[in-house]
Amino acid sequence: MKLFGSADAIIALILVAAMVLIGLINPAFWQLSNIFSLLKSNVVIGLMALGVLLVMISGGIDVSFTAFAVAGMYLVVRTMVALDYDGVILPFLAATLIGGLLGLINAGIIHKFNMIPLIVTLGTASVVRGLVLGFVGTSNVNINQMPDALIAFGRTDILTLERANGATFGLTAMIVIYVAAAIGIHLLLTRTMIGRSVYAYGADAEAAKRVGFNTGRTMIFVYCTAGALAGFAGLLHSSMIWLANPRDFVGLELDVIAAVVLGGASIFGGRGTVLGTVLGVFILVMIQNSLILMGIDTTWQRVVVGGMLIAAVAVTALRDRRAPV
């Protein structure tokens, strides 16, 4: 248990060191407007990362959640446009439900056929993206068609400040949702039986079964929650950027997985904390967004993210080897 604590502390230290470094290179980093925009960029990736964290603790990997996010977002927004419906709560419930149901398919296939999650989720991702683009549509829903209530919801701020020149900038209220989801997942993982069963399954699936955990239910919990979070995050994303693009999120799964690994979760399962993941997401988003501030060409972004991922997995691999089994 102590190991988890110290791992999170190391990640936090890395984060602080990176912040100080970026701040030294360009003091503009510390402007409140920059910090606020950083926090805003955390929300969608962070929500998805919480789902991926669950999957990774259970010893699996998920590359289908971005497709589920697109399905939740695009189906809901198109339906809203078609029905001329304006609202917030029902659409978000629907997007969450769509993601959750798609996650159920993942769970079913992985559990029933005892198949490697990577390959199953590659397949379901292709199926879902193909269905959305092939049957529902390929055109963007632009700001002039987007439901007003969604846009209004997405631009809600909890704090609005004024710059010297009179322009205002704010801290998005969506951060509250993210924090609430993070606390919720943390409590689920640490305080409930189903949460403990995820760790048990990830550490040793066979042992978890023999101790009496219903592993089928654990799988359903893990993949449905991951799907539901992705569906919700998808719609949230479109209400924050006032656009629903059915080709969105391509390649984002790698960033999210990188963030979760950066946060100390082990791909072999059994390890990972919500705090670590939240910090990992923050580090990733911060470094991506600060490349311009640091005067680094944006074409280097992929190299930097890939390098960070490799460094993070190398460190966790070393840690996993040293840790007593």
Partner 1 sequence: MSRTNTAETSGGSLKGSLLRAGGHTNVQLGVICLLILAVMTALRPQMFLSSYNFESMAFFMPELGILSVAMMIAMLTGGIDLSIIGVANLAGITAGTVFGYLAGEAGAGSLGVAPVILGVGLGLLIGVLAGLLNGLLISGLKITPILATLGTGQVFIGLCLVLTGGPAIVGFPPAWNWLGNGKIAAIPVPLVLFVVLCVALSLLLSRTSFGLRLKMIGTNPKAAIYTGIERGRMIMWSYMLTGGLAAMAGILLSARTNAAKSDYGASYLLQAVLIAVLGGTNPAGGKGNVLGVALAVISLTLLSSGFQMMRVSNHLIDFVWGAFLIAVIAINSFRGRKAR
Q: Quick one: how many helices (H) and strands (E) in the chain?
A: 13, 2
Region binding partner 1 by CB under 8 A among candidate stretches 90-98, 118-126, 158-166, 189-197: 118-126
Q: What is the Cα–Cα distance from 320 to 318, expressed in whole angstroms?
A: 5
Residues linked to residue 162 through DSSP beta bridges, in sequence order: 168
SS3 189: helix
How far, in Å, CA of 265 to CA of 242, rounded?
33
Contact pattern from residue 44 through residue 83 relative to partner 1, giving x for each residue in contact according to CB under 8 A and a dash for the rest: -----------------x----------------------
Taking CB under 8 A as the rule, does residue 215 contact partner 1? Answer: no
Angle at 143 between CA 98 and CA 48, to 5 degrees: 35
Stretch that binds partner 1, among 9-17, 82-90, 144-152, 303-311 (CB under 8 A): 303-311
Q: Which of 88, 122, 177, 252 binds partner 1 (CB under 8 A)?
A: 122
The reply to whether 307 sits near partner 1 by the rule CB under 8 A is: yes
Nearer to partner 1, 175 or 267 (CB): 267
Contact predicate 171/36, CB 8 Å: yes
The one-letter amino acid at 308? M
Q: Which among 80, 87, 123 has a CA at the least distance from the CA of 102?
A: 123
Return the range that interacts with partner 1 (CB under 8 A); candidates 3-11, 154-162, 205-213, 293-301: 293-301
Based on the shown chain and the rule CB under 8 A, indicate whether residue 321 belongs to the binding site for partner 1: yes
Enumerate residues 222-281 that contact partner 1 by CB under 8 A.
254, 257-258, 261, 267-268
Q: How many residues bind partner 1 (CB under 8 A)?
A: 48
Task: Provide the residue type at 182 as one letter.
Answer: A
Kindly state whether residue 324 participates in binding partner 1, applying the rule CB under 8 A.
no
Sign of torsion over alpha carbons 223, 98, 188, 125: positive
In the list 45, 124, 143, 167, the residue contacting partner 1 (rule: CB under 8 A) is 124
192's CB contacts (< 8 A; 6+ apart) are: none
* Binding residue for partner 1, selected from 118, 188, 194, 252, defined by CB under 8 A: 118
CB of 261 to partner 1, least distance (A): 6
Establish if 130 lies at the interface with partner 1 (CB under 8 A).
yes
SS3 assignment, position 248 = coil
Report d(CA 30, CA 38) in Å as an integer: 11
- Binding-site ranges for partner 1 (CB under 8 A): 61, 109, 112-116, 118-120, 122-135, 138, 254, 257-258, 261, 267-268, 297, 299-307, 309-310, 313-314, 317-318, 321
